[in-house]
Structure 1
Amino acid sequence: MFTSRRLIIAATAVALLSGCATQQNPYDNQGQAQNTSGGMSKTAKYGGIGALAGALAGAAIDHNHRGKGALIGAAVAGAASAGYGYYADKQEAALRESMANTGVEVQRQGDQIKLIMPGNITFATDSSAISSSFYSPLNNLASSFKQFNENTIEIVGYTDSTGARQHNMDLSLQRAQAVSTYLTSQGVDATRVSVRGAGPDQPIASNADANGRAQNRRVEVNLKPIPGQQYPQQ
């Protein structure tokens, strides 16, 4: 039991070191990474978090050898998280540059990059026809997605709460499909893309006024690692 505890403590150290280690980024030719975490890069932070989660999972799975399981889990999960973290760092920086002054917001949430496209540039009210102001951001997105082609692309359409729910669900899906169709027509691999309509669910502003409803009539694009894919660390 004492040895097992020592190994779990060691695994925790591995997790922390996985997050703090500085390694050469293998995606240096795909944009310029940014360090926005007060001295610790997102790659390091998410690699360490992944390693710690892996340590706990490894200990839980191997009940008879918790310490060894924790060490293995820390090493494997930490490497995987840090590897994709490198990739996401580069993609995030490139997207922030290409989406500047377009009205599209870029958010980073762990291993996921989220692009929020507000209703004032995407679609007219009660329409799934792409607005003329939306083509330029979409063209920039298509170029980025072809350059950074190692993650999945989930497109989610939203509406405000005005009108019948089923109509809004259908409209939001049509908007997501319109974005998907345009991106794939510009050369984005269709096998990476999925679409979903969320209608009025998950509003980001109040539906009580016109400004809030415009914010809720949005399209979001979620970029995530491909399940099972190995992302190099160096």
Structure 2
Amino acid sequence: MIMARPLRADPRKGSPMKLRNTTILAVCGLMALGACADPNTGTGVGGLSRTQQGAIAGAATGAILGAARDDDSNNEGRDAARGAIVGGIVGAVAGNILDRQARDLQQSISNPNVQVVNRGDYLQVVLPEGILFATGSAAVSGVAQQDLYAVARNLNQYPNSVVQVVGHTDSTGTQAINQDLSQRRAQSVAGILAAAGVAQNRLSATGVAASQPVASNDTAAGRAQNRRVEILIRPTR
């Protein structure tokens, strides 16, 4: 009879103990970095600032990559800890920049109906139709142009990003009409940003008609919320 031989753990592979140690070290890195976060930045999920959230995400990613790239198979915990610290610092810097840009942007816009939302990895500027366009028109009003110039100045102050302008409509009317209107409106807003000095290679304009509602199209109030242009600012580094 041939006896089955017990399988031995490959010493080159991470053991449960190593993985547990990696997790502990990563958490320690997160706690240390969280204690150093700037208390003056905006808060996000769970009361954490975007800086803290960036540090947490970066530290976790750094810990995993540090352990995975361990070349000598003997210092996985050390490499994970180093990865957590470096990743956390990078994440915190990126989060802090978005916090500052969002704050500066909100302060520079005069119309209180314009929303600036920090989504964690990008900024979303929401401009309702009522402050931009007349009904059925893609011509930006003179008052709204001033706020778009303020957005452009902010984009030039923080140049490491790409900017997507997205036009939205409600569901009233045909798909073809809504698609054309949303595209022309997005292009109008992007054109003003370009005229104000934002580099063309950073800008794109897209119309999505009524495909991305934020409220019910069954009510007048809901339809008004859906008619909007959004400026999405995504950091490139």
Aligned partner (choices 153, 163, 175) of residue 163 of structure 2: 153
Unaligned runs of at least 5 residues, structure 1: 26-32, 230-234
1-side partners of 2:41 and 2:58: how far apart? 20
Give the direction of change, closer, same or farther, for the CA distance of 1:201–1:110 in structure 2 (3 Å limit).
Answer: same
Given the superposition, is the C-alpha separation of residues 40 and 184 from structure 1 closer, same or farther in structure 2, using an over 3 Å criterion?
A: same
By how many angstroms is 1:187 displaced? 0.7
- Quick one: which of 41, 45, 64 aligns to 2:49? 41
Change (3 A) 1:14 1:131: same
Structure 2 equivalent of residue 222 of structure 1: 232
Residue pair 2:165, 2:204 contacting (<8 A) in 1 also:
yes
Q: Which amino acid aligns with 2:27?
A: T
| Residue aligning to 1:30 | none
5 Å-filtered alignment, 1:3-152, equals: 3-22=18-37, 34-36=41-43, 40-56=48-64, 59=67, 67=77, 70-71=80-81, 73-152=83-162
Instruction: Give the Cα–Cα distance (whole angstroms) in 2 for the partners of residues 190 and 135 of structure 1.
Output: 18
SS of the residue 2:60 aligns to: helix
CA contact (8 A) 2:171 2:210 kept: yes
Distance of aligned partners of 1:134 and 1:71 in 2 relative to their CA distance in 1, 3 Å threshold: same
Q: Which runs of 5+ in 2 are unaligned?
A: 1-14
Question: What TM-score, normalized by structure 2, do the two folds share?
Answer: 0.79
Q: CA deviation at 1:188?
A: 1.1
Deviation for aligned residue 1:70 = 3.9
After the TM superposition, which of the residue ranges 151-160 and 45-54 deviates more from structure 2?
45-54
The higher relative CO (CA closer than 8 Å, separation ≥ 6) is in: 1
Quote the sequence identity (%): 37
Amino acid at match of 1:36: T
- Residue 34 of structure 1 aligns to a residue whose secondary structure is coil
User: Alignment partner of 1:86: what SS?
Assistant: helix
Aligned partner of 1:164 in structure 2 is 174
CA 1:39/1:158 → structure 2, altered by over 3 Å: closer, same or farther?
A: closer
Residues 157 and 199 of structure 1 are in contact (CA less than 8 Å); yes or no, is this contact kept in structure 2?
Answer: yes
* Structure 1 residues 39 and 200: alpha-carbon distance in aligned structure 2, compared to 1, 3 A threshold: closer
Q: What is the one-letter code of the residue matched to 2:220?
A: A
Q: Secondary structure at the match of 2:116?
A: strand
Using the TM superposition, give the Cα deviation of residue 100 of structure 1 relative to its aligned residue in structure 2, in angstroms. Answer: 4.4
Give the match's secondary structure for 1:88: helix
Q: Aligned AA for 2:56?
A: G
Cα offset, 1:15, TM superposition: 3.0
Give the number of the structure whose alpha-carbon radius of gyration is greater: 2
